[in-house]
Every structure is written in structure tokens, then in C-alpha cells.
Amino acid sequence: MSDRPTAVGKTSSLFDGAVGETRPAFLVSKHDYLIDSARFPSEGYWAFCRFDGDDVPALRLGFQRGGFNGGILERDPSPDYLQLHLELMTRDGAILWLPSGMYPAGRVASDPHALDIRLDHDNRNIFSFQGWPAIECHFSSDDQDLQADLRFVLGAVTTLPDCLLPHCLFAMWESMGEVRGSVRYRGRPAAVQGKVFFDHTRVIPRRHAVIPRHTYVYSTLYFADGSGLFGYHSVDADGCPIAGYCFHVYLDSAGKGEFLEDGALTRLMLDGDGIAKSWEIVGSTRGGPLRVNVTARHTRIIRSWGAPGAPRTRREFSIIPLVLDGSAQMSGTNGTQTLNAYGLAEYFNSDLWPADNAASPTGAGLSPAPGSP
């Protein structure tokens, strides 16, 4: 395979849809939304939820069967490894259940004909996803201290460009939809509703002669008029953007998506922990220029538990969910309007990642890539 990312309009190598195509979720084929462990050594579902209230502004949850190397060392997915996150962002701070590596991936049961996937342990359901395009999702920590019962109603699905990393190919589609349900921590329940950015990731080992990513920002945002924006911005060790892994997709209020050909992330600022605290995204939509300014809340970690290597400080866990607030300026035939913006982001910086991947909740249990030390 050529060491070039799949161009917009070309067929994705791991999904049926063309890269850049946005389709209603009910038209997406089962091949694209079901788990296929026979073909893909690493596969998962991830949900970035941004809620309307301030007491519980956000939640991220998901799993990756086979794991995925988030660090800079060369690692291939391990068929027995299960990466698992349940992360609740509250007004007072972050509550992070990170049991990656605790459960063998083989315990995850998946229906080959319908979206019905679950992990049970000690006669309790740890997580489940059921139904399409309305997905009933349940997640619970093993001690039952933290729990989420949510319903995702997905609108449109956009196939994203293949990301070529030195040790693997990373493919993904993204969908923005509605979320509502309840979360509970230590017996205190809270009703929640808002927006969800739901993605399906597939990773296969494949060597590429490409520059490693040093830093990335993964932004998911929705605006007050019902439209949204998501995308990646990745740079190498010199701060230069990586071709094919810098892109943004705009969804209008009707769910029609478009790649922002000139989309760019600028003015990235870091906080005292070396984690992204503010940035700007600019680009041109069919309706006119778009400019989004966001600020990430500095959320302390209240509790982090699960795997022995679960991080205790923000600096140990640069991919802590970043709760975003901001504004979007959108220009069109009726002039320029300013809309409130809300979202959830992920920031990765290899300088903050453990040198030993076994110390990270996303790296333990992965197998050394062929030819690695």
C-alpha cells in the first residue's frame, strides 16, 4: 500500500463508504458499524458526550478490543488486550475509571448480525451497546461506584481519511447525534442530555514510512443552531502539520457534512500541565467563512482507578477529556452571526506519555511490532 492517506472521495480501505462522504446513519451498512474480530485485530466504539448542564458537563466512554498504541513506542494490537474508559466530568472535577488490561478481550461478546455487544464479569454487565441507529449504552465500573445509562440517536455518519502511522493504519468514521439518559456516582444520580460524537475505530498492523505524530488535538464541537464541527490536527516533533492527519468536517443543522478544504487549527495554547487550554479553528464552508474559538476547562482529577497504572495527575494523562466552551463566527448571505459553541476534546502529546507503555492505560498489553527493540 502507498504511504499516502486515502484522498477525499476515494473508497476507504477499511469501511464501505467513500472518504468524506456523509450518509444518514440508517443507510450505513452493517459491515461498517458491526465489530468483525475475524478481520480487524483492533476495533472499538467511543462516545464523546457534551451535556447541557454544568453540574455534569461531559462524559467520555468506550472500548478498543485489541488496544491501540497511544505512545511513541512501536506496538501492535494484542488480541487479548481490552482498552476500556469510563470518564465523568463534573463541576468539581474528573472521575476516571480506567480498567484497561483488566479484562481479556475474548470476554467481549458480539452478535455478528446486529449491534449487540457486551462484556460481563462476575454476573454483572460492565458495558453493552445495543441497536442501530438508536443505541442503548450501559457502562458500569466493576465496583458499581460509577455508572452511565445512555441512549444515542445518531444522525449522519462521515467516513474519515485513513491515518497512516509508522506501525499501523488507523481508520474511523464519526457521527454527531443526540444523547440523553442518566449517570450515577456513589449513589448520586443525575439526568443528562445533550450531544454525542460517536465513532467506530479500526486498526490494523501495517508498516508505513511516515513521520510519527508528536502532538494531536481531536476536537468535537456543536453550535447553538444545531450544526457541528469535528476533526484532527496533528503535528510532528518540529510542530509541522502532518499531511492527511489534519482535517475538519462541518455538519450543518440538517446533518449535511462537508470537508473544510482550508480548515486549520491555530493559536494553540498550553496550560501549566502542558495540556491544550485554548485554540482556534478556521475554514470555509459552502455558506462562507467559519471561525471557532474554544477554551478548555482546567479540570482536576478527583478520582482515578481501575488498572494498577491508572494516572493520578493530569500530567500523567494528557488525553484527559477536555470540556470545551467557546464561540463560532459564521458568515453567509445574511451576514455574520456569532453562536455559542460547546464540545469535548482529546489532546495527545508524546512528551507527556510514559516512556514505558506498560504504565499507560492505553498501552499495556500491546505486543512489540516486528523489528522493534
The single-letter code of the amino acid at 308 is P
Mean pLDDT of 239-257: 91
Query: What is the reported pLDDT for 274?
Result: 94
Domains of the chain: 22-368 (2.40.370.10)
- 228 to each of 171, 288, 342, how far by Cα in Å? 21, 15, 9
Query: What is the reported pLDDT for 325?
Result: 98
Of residues 360 and 203, more confidence is placed in 203
pLDDT class for 136, splitting at 50, 70, 90? very high
Q: What percent of the chain has pLDDT over 70?
A: 90
Q: What is the DSSP letter of 351?
A: G
Rounded-to-5 percentages of helix, strand, coil across the chain: 5, 55, 40
Query: What is the reported pLDDT for 79?
Result: 77
Bridge partner residues of 127 (DSSP): 119, 139
Of residues 7 and 155, more confidence is placed in 155
Of residues 197 and 74, more confidence is placed in 197
Query: What is the reported pLDDT for 76?
Result: 66
pLDDT class for 59, splitting at 50, 70, 90? very high
187-199 as b/e, with b when 16 or more CB fall inside 10 Å? eeeeebebbbbbb
Name every residue whose Cβ is closer than 8 Å to that of residue 130 and which is 6 or more positions away in sequence: 115, 116, 117, 118, 136, 137
> Which three three-digit cell numbers place residue 13?
480501505
pLDDT class for 364, splitting at 50, 70, 90? very low
pTM assigned to the model: 0.93
> Which three three-digit cell numbers place residue 335?
451576514
Peptide bond into 133 cis (omega under 30): yes
Rounded to whole angstroms, the Cα distance separating 22 from 40 reads 23
For 84-125, what is each residue's pLDDT tens digit? Answer: 999 999 999 999 999 998 999 999 999 999 999 999 999 999
> Which three three-digit cell numbers place residue 78?
494484542
For 285-332, what is each residue's pLDDT tens digit? Answer: 998 999 999 999 999 999 999 988 888 899 888 899 999 999 999 987
Grid cell 489532546 is found at: 347
For 181-216, what is each residue's pLDDT tens digit? Answer: 999 999 999 999 999 999 999 998 888 888 888 999
Query: What is the reported pLDDT for 71?
Result: 52
Question: How close are the terminal C-alpha atoms of the chain, in Å?
Answer: 25
Mean pLDDT of 132-149: 98
